Amino acid sequence: MHTEQAAINVRVSALLEDLPKERSQLLPALWRVFEEYWLLEPEMIEAISNAMGVPYAEVYGVASFYALFDNPEGCRPIYVCTDVMCALRGSEDLLKSGQVGAKGTPVSIKGAPCLGYCDEAPALFDGKVTKTQVTQDALAQLIRGEKHA
């Protein structure tokens, strides 16, 4: 546990090395660490707290505010929009089929509020890019692709 924390501290401070150590850089700092691990566990919050000089409880308070940082499984998240316009085009079934298909893979399929691609529904966000007019086959391929990656 202790050595793990030390290793994370080293990695996090390297990730944040060039960021100004200001409170206003907390969100960019959280992004960098999140994209390195795809999760924010107590050890990472502790390391960010140390590196940025922001109290632990406050780092957690900020991180837990944002939906995109809520990924405790640490799997690569794929967000399927289940809001009105995408749901009209079958995104709820898409979400279900994805969740079944993702079992046992390093991918987790989550529902998401409106992704802002209502004109090309249904849409998903794979953590890096948005894909539109997604079919169940396309999602299955995406999940399989992640498995090999």
Site for another protein, rule CB under 8 A: 22-28, 30-31, 42, 45, 54-62, 64-70, 79, 83-85, 87-88, 112-121, 125, 128-130
Report yes or no: 33 and 12 within 8 Å, Cβ to Cβ.
Answer: yes
| Phi, psi for 109 (deg, rounded to 5) | -105, 125
- Smallest gap from Cβ 25 to another protein, in A, equals 7
Q: In 3D, which of 140, 86, 142, 137 has the Cα closest to residue 114?
A: 86
The first and second tokens of residue 13, run together, are 């401070």
The first and second tokens of residue 102, run together, are 């993702």
Strand partners, 107: 76
- Smallest gap from Cβ 104 to another protein, in A, equals 26
Terminal-to-terminal C-alpha distance of the chain: 29
Report yes or no: 40 and 64 within 8 Å, Cβ to Cβ.
Answer: no
Q: What is the CA radius of gyration of the chain?
A: 17
Distance CA 50, CA 56 (A): 8
